[in-house]
Structure 1
Amino acid sequence: MARRYARALFSLGLAQGDAKLVAYGENLSGLVEALNESPQLDRIFRNPVFKVAEKKAVVDAILSKIKPQQMIVNFCHLLADNNRLGFLADIQAYYAELLDEHQGIARGKMITAIDLEPEIQAQLKNSLEEKTSRQLILDYAVDPQILGGLILKIGDRVLDASLRAQLVAMRETIKRGE
């Protein structure tokens, strides 16, 4: 459900140019941040006891603070009319994925056994960007249990080049008697 709404908004933005695409994404992010600050608002949007007019009033109050594009205001009213305001976080997340794909950006996570210096992180990132021909936005984490090497997660792909994974593979090979 959320994907359909995100794709529709993305298509409208695409027809209006990259600046609008980015602006819509920023507006949705601001709206979801405001909702995350007040979890009770999400409960209001999901509760069928509240009328559409009441939900629109609440969303208009939030929108007045973030000053979004008129398209986002109209989009939120459409969601309210269809009783779909509870899906805003999912819509924003999928919209962000579509925007990243359109801009050639891949988001991921790099896990290492030790904390890497920023220069080494940058070198690894640049090397990966050259190999993937995409701009990467990586979150960095440390997990001493991998013993050495790294684990790279980008989208649904995982590259496990950790020492722990190599030791497990070696143990399985020895068990099989190869």
Structure 2
Amino acid sequence: MSGNIVARRYAKALFAVGMKQGDAELEAYGKQLAGLAGALAESPEALRFFKNPVFSVEEKKAVLKQITDALGLTQTMVNFASLLADKNRLVSLPEIAEDFGAMLDEKNGIVSGKLVTAVALSDTRKVELKERLEKQTGKKLVLGFDTNAEILGGVVLQIGDSVLDASLRAQLNILKETIKRGE
């Protein structure tokens, strides 16, 4: 989740509306919000336009209407985006979408993580590791893989807010500190 308190509040409000309407609507809101945030992210000039205080709220709403019509958003999402325009919060839309997605993942028991290794892993090994981690956590895992030669060996695993650093570099640093202390 992003550190933007305002974005989190708007995401919570939309999430609460979606929860009252059911899981199907909640999922639809998540997809539409992500689509709208993606459209704005792909168009930096649109974000600059929405940030610019020279343009009135009505002008911003007119441009927003063109974007929402092109994306085919539901009336609830159009109303939500219009509210953001009224409150001059359209620039927070990417953070709102990120927070909403995190809330949706939490509700669905999905945890995102990242596994860093010193060398690239084969696809079969990635699948095997992901399945083993899902079994250990008891949750569905969206796992990203990365390589970093600086860890020398082993793995660095981040799942949610937890980090497990089982890299060779970390072990060598622990050994170095132990030797320095004279233990």
Q: TM-score, normalised by structure 2?
A: 0.94
CA distance in 1, matches of 2:76, 2:164: 40
Gaps in structure 2 of 5+ consecutive residues: 1-5
Q: Count how many residue pairs are aligned between Structure 1 and Structure 2.
A: 178
The letter of the residue matching 2:126 is Q
Consecutive aligned runs of 4 or more in structure 1 exceeding 4 Å deviation? none
CA distance in 1, matches of 2:65, 2:136: 45
Kindly report which structure 2 residues correspond to 1:1-178, keeping only aligned pairs within 5 A, or say none: 1-178=6-183
Deviation (angstroms), 1:59:
0.8
CA distance in 2, matches of 1:124, 1:146: 19
Please list the CA deviations of residues 43-102 of structure 1 after superposition, one character each: whole Å capped at 9, or x if unmatched. Answer: 111122111111111111111111112111010011111111111011001001100100
CA distance in 2, matches of 1:155, 1:43: 32
Q: Percent of pairs identical after alignment?
A: 52
Structural RMSD (CA): 0.9
CA distance in 2, matches of 1:123, 1:176: 40
Q: State the secondary structure of the residue aligned to 1:50.
A: coil
The letter of the residue matching 2:80 is F
CA distance in 1, matches of 2:172, 2:74: 54
CA distance in 1, matches of 2:171, 2:129: 20
Q: State the secondary structure of the residue aligned to 1:29.
A: helix
Q: State the secondary structure of the residue aligned to 1:138.
A: strand
Deviation (angstroms), 1:156:
2.1
CA distance in 2, matches of 1:137, 1:58: 35
Gaps in structure 1 of 5+ consecutive residues: none
Question: After alignment, is 93-102 or 151-160 more displaced?
Answer: 151-160
Q: State the secondary structure of the residue aligned to 1:152.
A: strand
